[in-house]
Amino acid sequence: MAYKQLGDYSDCNLSRQWESWWTQLIHERSSNLSNGVLNPINSLFNPPEFSDLGDRQLTNCCKEAWPLFSSWWEMPAGGGSAMAYWESVPNVINIVHKFEQKEGKNVKDFRLHIDLVYTGISERIELRQDYVIMALDIKQLREESWWMQKLRQIG
């Protein structure tokens, strides 16, 4: 695949626009999940046109990056395939069994939504008790103490 240099988007204003969009996105996602909806948020993220982003500079940047991202995501060893691997890293069933043995009780039914992101965060973002955004980080995904604490909260 040929390398393509994206336009110059080092502007501080663009960083602020991106941060604002990201904040809107995660709060919208959290709100939708609390209503039992697990749909993509098309109003805040509308590829490949990105017409709903509003700001021209952010829209242009996303439009320019989209074909490269989309191509990488669809590759046999690209993002889509990698995501399937990362989603299986925390063996939740084994974690629940360990929790039940340790606590001496069965875990009640629970719902925990975890959105995995490739880059941009280093720590978990726990927006609500049942909604977490986590980086693709093997240590975080397998951190048994975090899972046990989370199961105490919700299970």
pLDDT in tens, 40-70: 655 566 788 888 777 888 888 888 889 999 9
- Strand duo 125-128 + 113-117: pairing: unpaired
Q: Rounded to whole angstroms, what are the CA distances from 49 to 9, 23, 46, 55?
A: 18, 20, 6, 12
Edge to edge, the sheet with strand 113-117 lists 113-117, 131-135, 125-128
At residue 97 the predicted structure's pLDDT band, cuts being 50, 70 and 90, is very high
The b/e string for 68-107 (b: 16+ C-beta within 10 A; e otherwise) is eeeeeeeeeeebeebeeebeeebeeeebbeebeeeeeeee
pLDDT at 55: 80
The whole model's pTM is what?
0.78
With 80 as the cut, is the pLDDT of residue 6 above it? no
pLDDT at 124 over 80: yes
What would the mean pLDDT of 112-124 be, rounded to a whole number? 88
Mean pLDDT of 19-36: 82
Q: What is the pLDDT of residue 15?
A: 82
